[in-house]
Amino acid sequence: MTRKSSILSTFHTVQFSETDMAGIVHFSNFYRFMEQAEAELFKKADLPLMIREGQEARGWPRVKANASFNHPLRFGDTVEISIEALEIKDHSLDYRFAFYINRGPTPQKIASGSMTTVYAKGDPYTGQFQAALIPDTIKASLKALVPPVLAPE
């Protein structure tokens, strides 16, 4: 298997609480793993995922997420969560993820996923949020982490 280059990789060891009675990771945890990688990306870019200033909050609500599964992930496995693509648009970010595990001589891709987040501003007390333009400073910080070969054309 040929691995794609990645923007960022992070690792997670599967906990017992993340599995079902057969010891297989429940599918919903893959969405948490994607968010783990997203948080690591923002940390690497020295950007906050959420900002709260008085009555205004800014952040990245999810508007779309999906995952496909090829092989099971089990209790005790260490999974590599890789951000393989990031498209930075005016109001949103589109991520592509891959999940790998070392079972044998080469890493095995066990799942893939994607997620779209929208930059939003609003009142955290009323829950009223609206999409907003991503500030140029945020775009520049994220673009600096995306190798040219992985940037969309």
Once rounded to an integer, what is the mean pLDDT over residues 116-130? Answer: 89
Q: Is residue 85 a part of any domain in this protein?
A: yes
Q: Quick one: pLDDT band at residue 86, thresholds 50, 70, 90?
A: very high
| Res. 152: pLDDT tops 60 | no
Q: Is residue 39 a part of any domain in this protein?
A: yes
Q: Is residue 101 a part of any domain in this protein?
A: yes
Quick one: pLDDT at residue 55? 84
Q: Is residue 105 a part of any domain in this protein?
A: yes
Quick one: pLDDT at residue 3? 61
Domain that residue 26 falls in: 8-145
Query: What does pLDDT average to over the chain?
Result: 91
| Res. 147: pLDDT tops 60 | yes
More confident residue, 4 or 133: 133
Closest CA to 118 of 136, 95, 96: 95
Q: 100: domain CATH number? A: 3.10.129.10
More confident residue, 150 or 44: 44
In the chain, the number of structural domains is 1
Quick one: pLDDT at residue 1? 42
Q: Is residue 29 a part of any domain in this protein?
A: yes
pTM for the predicted model, two decimal places: 0.89
| Res. 135: pLDDT tops 60 | yes
Query: Could you tell me the CA-to-CA distances from 99 to 33, 35, 72 in Å, in that order?
Result: 9, 13, 11
